[in-house]
């Protein structure tokens, strides 16, 4: 029997495995990582590459080692330059540097040797711990950490019935860059970092033949952070942890700053718009039609996911039958009231920016105000859904172990992040305990501190605050 099994070897599972080993809380041969992919951080690499991310949004102190200075030290030792591989403020590292440091942590802790490739399906109790059933067999461990990453990508209702060849979600693991072969005009739907960074990739690519159109619900809104930074410490976390679970859920959505972009991405984006390399439209899409077919707008009762994608946003975001959801990621931080209003009546206050029918292309995106946008392919950059990550595993395990969940299906955890004794959750799955930064890199640091506190014989240097 293993001492620890980490389910999910993304940024969080990799961080936690390395941190447990580095803290001496487990010997390398008593720990394993179970993951659907073949190597640590695979989805991180896929998504950041597809989006075209150049620099991280988070500071260099939020890195893959428990030591906050580790990445900066690594950069100095390996010839990375302060001016080219970091961006201010907060010395945010270049993706290339972050990934090299990640690889060094994996190598140093021999995590690849502790890898089991398989997908966990159910967790049961077993003598002395847990039995994790997976398509790679049953793995027994005294302690198990669930770190299955992000929820599935959010698919707007109007896109649900479209085929995957013409509509793709940028954050889907199956996303394939459409720069060659398909050609034609690309419509990008979204208004956050992913949408803008991807628009810049297309704008700069000699292989992308035509100017992409970015369809955003509002002007680019800037923020250095993707959630309110006061939740990184006790200033906001104290209140958060004192609030009842159902209140924490609404605090989470208040604290997040979806649909915001960093100032340097805004500057580059505006430059691309001004020079005609990206067309920017402010509008809300109501339906998608393909040439020669009936309307492909999703029927009101649409319950099938976009091709093989998981289902998008939950019904609570859908304002009224037949209307597209109003993705919270496209609302400014100060737009909470607008969001409530919009959710009630399903209508937007968007301004019309362009003429009625735009360019050629087999797809027609019909906007709420009647504007039509033609495109050859549509790329959704509409963020992640509100479902719990690994929803099926979580639901089956909750039923098996009689483990508590909130109304949205998220696990309700102890302060130690234990769902049941010795069964932990991390990342977005632990957001009701860790707050809005749970799913980000610093969330992995927070999770480690909480988990380590619950383990006897934790070295004294890790017995810092739980924030």
Ligand X SMILES: Cc1cc2nc3c(=O)[nH]c(=O)nc-3n(C[C@H](O)[C@H](O)[C@H](O)COP(=O)(O)OP(=O)(O)OC[C@H]3O[C@@H](n4cnc5c(N)ncnc54)[C@H](O)[C@@H]3O)c2cc1C
Contact residues: ligand X, CB under 6 A: 7-13, 34-37, 42-44, 47-48, 51, 53, 56-58, 62, 119-120, 147-150, 171, 194, 390, 393, 427, 439-441
Q: Which is nearer to ligand X, 137 or 370 (CB)?
A: 137
Q: For the CB of residue 130, give the shortest distance to ligand X in the complex, in Å.
A: 14
365, 288 contact by CB (below 8 A): yes
Which one, 49 or 339, has the nearer CB to ligand X?
49
Closest-approach residue to ligand X (CB)? 10
Spatial distance between the Cα atoms of 432 and 243, rounded to a whole number of angstroms: 10
Residue with tokens 């994996």: 106
Q: Are 303 and 311 in contact (CB under 8 A)?
A: yes
Query: Least distance (Å) from ligand X to the CB of residue 91?
Result: 13
Minimum distance between the CB of residue 335 and ligand X, rounded to whole angstroms?
Answer: 22
User: Is 229 exposed, middle or buried (CB count within 10 Å of its CB: 0-12, 13-18, 19+)?
Assistant: middle
Q: Which is nearer to ligand X, 8 or 156 (CB)?
A: 8
Give the E-state strand segments of 314-431 in sequence order: 357-358, 363-367, 372-375, 377-380, 418-420, 423-425
When the beta carbons of 32 and 43 are compared against ligand X, the nearer one is 43
**Nearest of 212, 264, 224 to residue 54 by alpha carbon:** 264
Instruction: Indicate the residue among 115 and 240 with the shorter CB distance to ligand X.
Output: 115
Interatomic CA distance for residues 49 and 47, integer angstroms:
5
**Shortest distance, position 61 Cβ to ligand X, whole Å:** 11
Q: Find the shortest distance in angstroms from Cβ 401 to ligand X.
A: 16
Residue 180 Cβ vs ligand X, minimum distance, rounded to whole Å: 22
Name the residue nearer to ligand X (CB basis): 7 or 375: 7
Of the two residues 289 and 431, which places its CB atom closer to ligand X in the complex?
Answer: 431
CB of 262 to ligand X, least distance (A): 10
Cβ closest to ligand X, residue 348 vs residue 427: 427
Q: Minimum distance from CB of 76 to ligand X (Å)? A: 21
Alpha carbon distance 19, 278 (integer Å) = 43
Beta bridge partners of 405: 411
Cβ-Cβ contacts under 8 Å for 340 (sequence gap 6 or more): none
Element (H, E) at 128: none
DSSP code of 295? B
Bond from prior residue into 89 cis (ω within 30 degrees of 0): yes
- Spatial separation of the C-alpha atoms in residues 48 and 56, rounded to whole Å: 9
């Amino acid at each position: 029997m293993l001492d620890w099994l980490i389910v999910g070897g993304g940024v969080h599972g990799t961080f936690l495995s390395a941190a447990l080993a580095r803290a001496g809380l487990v010997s390398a041969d008593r720990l394993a990582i179970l993951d659907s992919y073949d190597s640590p951080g695979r989805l991180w690499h896929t998504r950041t590459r597809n989006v075209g991310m150049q620099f991280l949004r988070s500071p260099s102190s939020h890195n893959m080692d428990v030591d906050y200075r580790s990445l900066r030290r690594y950069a100095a030792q390996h010839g990375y330059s302060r001016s080219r591989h970091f961006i201010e403020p907060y010395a945010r590292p270049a993706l290339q540097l972050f990934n090299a440091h990640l690889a060094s942590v994996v190598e140093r802790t021999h995590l690849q040797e502790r890898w089991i490739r398989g997908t966990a399906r159910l967790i049961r109790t077993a003598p002395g711990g847990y039995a994790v059933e997976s398509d790679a067999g049953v793995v027994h461990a005294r302690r198990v950490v669930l770190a299955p990453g992000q929820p599935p990508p959010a698919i707007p209702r109007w896109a649900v019935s479209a085929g995957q060849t013409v509509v793709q979600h940028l954050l889907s693991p199956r996303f394939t860059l459409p720069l060659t072969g398909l050609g034609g005009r690309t419509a990008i739907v979204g208004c956050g970092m992913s949408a803008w960074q991807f628009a810049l990739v297309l704008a700069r690519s000699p292989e992308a033949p035509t100017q992409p159109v970015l369809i955003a619900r509002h002007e680019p809104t800037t923020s250095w952070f993707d959630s309110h930074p006061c939740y990184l410490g006790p200033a906001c976390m104290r209140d958060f942890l004192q609030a009842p679970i159902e209140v924490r859920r609404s605090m989470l959505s208040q604290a997040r700053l979806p649909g915001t972009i960093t100032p340097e991405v805004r500057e580059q984006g505006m430059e691309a718009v001004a020079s005609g390399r990206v067309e920017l439209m402010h509008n809300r899409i109501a339906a998608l039609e393909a040439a020669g077919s009936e309307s492909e707008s999703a029927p009101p009762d649409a319950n099938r996911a976009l091709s093989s994608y998981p289902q998008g946003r939950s019904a609570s975001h859908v304002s009224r039958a037949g209307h597209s959801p109003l993705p919270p990621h496209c609302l400014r931080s100060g737009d909470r009231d607008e969001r409530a209003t919009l959710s009630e009546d399903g209508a937007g206050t968007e301004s019309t920016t362009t003429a009625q029918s735009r360019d050629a292309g087999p797809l027609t995106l019909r906007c709420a105000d009647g504007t039509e946008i033609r495109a050859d392919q549509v790329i959704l950059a509409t963020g992640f859904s509100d479902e719990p990550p690994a929803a099926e595993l979580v639901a089956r395990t909750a039923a098996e172990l009689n483990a508590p969940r909130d109304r949205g299906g998220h696990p309700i955890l102890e302060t130690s992040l234990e769902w049941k004794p010795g069964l932990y959750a991390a990342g977005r799955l632990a957001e009701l305990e860790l707050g809005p930064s749970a799913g980000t890199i610093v969330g992995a640091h927070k999770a480690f501190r909480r988990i380590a506190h619950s383990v006897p014989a934790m070295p004294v240097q890790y017995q810092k605050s739980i924030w």
